[in-house]
Chain A
Amino acid sequence: MAKKKRTSWIVWLRRLTQTGFFLLFCYLFLQTVYHPINKAGWGITFFFNLDPLLALCSWLASHALVGAMLLSLLTLGVTFICGRWFCGWVCPLGALHNFFTSLRGGRAKQKLEAGGYHSWQKAKYYGLVTFVVAAVLGANVVGWVDPISFFFRSLSISIYPAINKALVVVFTWIYDANPGIGPVRLTLVTEPLYGFLRKYFLAVEQPYYWGSLLIGTLFITVVALNFWRARFWCRYACPLGALLGVVGKNPLVRLKKNEEKCNSCRLCLVDCQGGATPDSLWKPSECFYCWNCKSDCPAQAITFTPSASQRCHSERSEESRSDSLVHTSERGSSLRCE
């Protein structure tokens, strides 16, 4: 087994960017409250404005579009060039799924099973068609499954109220029980911390919502599915991912593999987030441009560069489009590229 090399700086940049956008989303979420001047902050709906799926379906269903949602054209524009960069670098729900996927650990072999491309990944495209057709006919129900909408709604209705309640209960218990020895009490530490949370995080009043159990359970299930298949939602269910996959199916920035350097170790597959099969025929519509494959390749055979497609007629191409979870790439067949 080849030794894992040092992680590429682009991977660190990507992680930082994902974290940044995730924290921004959480910040905007927390800012969606009553401030004493009865004014919602500018840009509070930033992530909704970036989302081209919501813009498309809302426009199709209602024949009108809020100006701010034209920001989603930016997302589409970059997707033409860099494929599903949004999924890999920006989407806060994607970042959450990425995080939980990385928690699963496991050996490379297990990761390959969970992380290889599966033909069920096509399901999200069919889902997209269903929701777009429904929108054309006036039913804008894509909001049920759009990732930004799904994440914000789940946080609002279930996750944040649950965290709020848990924190208040714990801190209040510590305050009431007042554990400690002599003059040294736990509250000396917890009360200032509680004050900080009260000011910047906790809700003024504990919120309670109808439907919180269903919405919360759905959210937790979706997140837990990452332990079964890597980035489950992003690969199999996300209609925004599907839309970006369609728009980004022929990107300008492409994965290029140097066939002389590649020895088919398949390390690139182990941490591939999208199931884009970088080892055989790279699937641009599944690639999140996370750069893990490039970072992991011990032979440095992978690069991402602006280029036209390689138009490779590989004898293995039929195998790589089969339904197998784990690729059985045969070495020996060379690729003829135009």
Chain B
Amino acid sequence: MNRLSNWLGEFVHPPREARLDLGRRALLGAGLAGLGAKVLFGIAPQASKRSFNPALIRPPGALPEDEFLARCIRCGECMKVCPTNAVHPASLEGGVEGLWTPLLIMSLGYCDYECNLCSQVCPTHAIRQIEVPEKQKIKIGLAYIDRNRCLPWAYSKTCIVCEEHCPTPKKAIWFEEVEVRNIQGEKLTVKQPRVDPDLCIGCGICETKCPVKAPAAVRVTSVGESRNPENQMLLSNDNYGQG
């Protein structure tokens, strides 16, 4: 008992070998370095809330960016578990502070419609734990058609791959049937895809499967993501006629 009280007393008066011998100035310097780092992070454009990086597509369920960066421990669990190899460590898309936080690269993988594994494994719930039905309503971005690369638009060739893969219950890609002429001068009808921004959830399967590569003819950017009311292109995210 005496040993115990001696031991507890030593937290108040540490013995010589328990002292860490850290210089006061060096400690202050270290603290200021932490402060300085935070200040430098705070002046990055991503912190301005005015400009958003189109490549910063976070996994569905990710918290709003400030909270996300405060929780994410840059561990790579979500990157390991993602079955489609869609989640990658960011370089500077989220600023220096965002180094090695997760983002999706749709040219390499897409966010599977029936999957919520990243939200299951995140140790700090920077990606909140959500069930699949909720995940399926979260937008992580929006797809857009690059009319200069898309086969029916630019080359008068038939292609319907993006619409076929679109997983939403009412497809977020629809066709306008257009009569065009091919290189021989013959008339043909092609289905030119268009994205419906109210329905698109930005899952990226269209970009991943698009037969046009480097870059794909349909691409996803972060605008329209549900978690960020500033990064929007439409006034409302509702489906047509559902208020």
A interface with B by C-beta (< 8 Å)? 29, 32-34, 38-40, 44-45, 48-49, 54, 57-58, 61-62, 64, 66, 68-69, 122, 125-127, 129-134, 136-144, 146, 148-149, 152-153, 155-157, 160, 204-205, 207-211, 215, 245-246, 249-250, 252, 281-285, 306-313, 317, 321
Q: How large is the interface on B (under 10, 10 to 19, 20 to 34, 35 or more residues)?
A: 35 or more
A37 to chain B, nearest CB (A): 11
On whether the beta carbons of B20 and A125 are closer than 8 Å, the reply is: yes
On whether the beta carbons of A250 and B18 are closer than 8 Å, the reply is: yes
On whether the beta carbons of A143 and B15 are closer than 8 Å, the reply is: no
Supposing A250-B11, A285-B20 touch, asked if A211 and B33 sit within 8 A by C-beta, the answer is no
Query: Which residues of B sit under 8 angstroms from A311, Cβ to Cβ?
Result: 15-16
- CB-CB nearest 7 A-B residue pairs: A133-B34, A143-B74, A153-B76, A143-B73, A34-B83, A308-B6, A48-B123
Contact of B70 among A32, A62, A284 (CB under 8 A): A62
Whether B97 is near chain A, meaning CB under 8 Å from some CB there, is: yes
A284 to B123 alpha-carbon distance, docked (Å): 31
On whether the beta carbons of B73 and A48 are closer than 8 Å, the reply is: yes
A264 to chain B, nearest CB (A): 18
On whether the beta carbons of B38 and A58 are closer than 8 Å, the reply is: no
| CB nearest neighbor in B for A29 | B80
Query: Which residues of B sit under 8 angstroms from A246, Cβ to Cβ?
Result: 20
| CB nearest neighbor in A for B125 | A66
B interface with A by C-beta (< 8 Å)? 3, 6-7, 10-11, 14-22, 26-27, 29-31, 33-35, 37-38, 41, 66-67, 69-77, 79-81, 83, 85, 88-89, 91, 97, 99-100, 105, 108, 114-117, 120-121, 123-125, 132
On whether the beta carbons of B81 and A152 are closer than 8 Å, the reply is: no
**Given A132-B34, A252-B7, 10 further pairs, Cβ under 8 A:** A38-B117, A40-B121, A129-B34, A133-B33, A139-B70, A141-B99, A152-B76, A309-B10, A309-B15, A310-B15
Supposing A142-B73, A210-B88 touch, asked if A32 and B35 sit within 8 A by C-beta, the answer is no
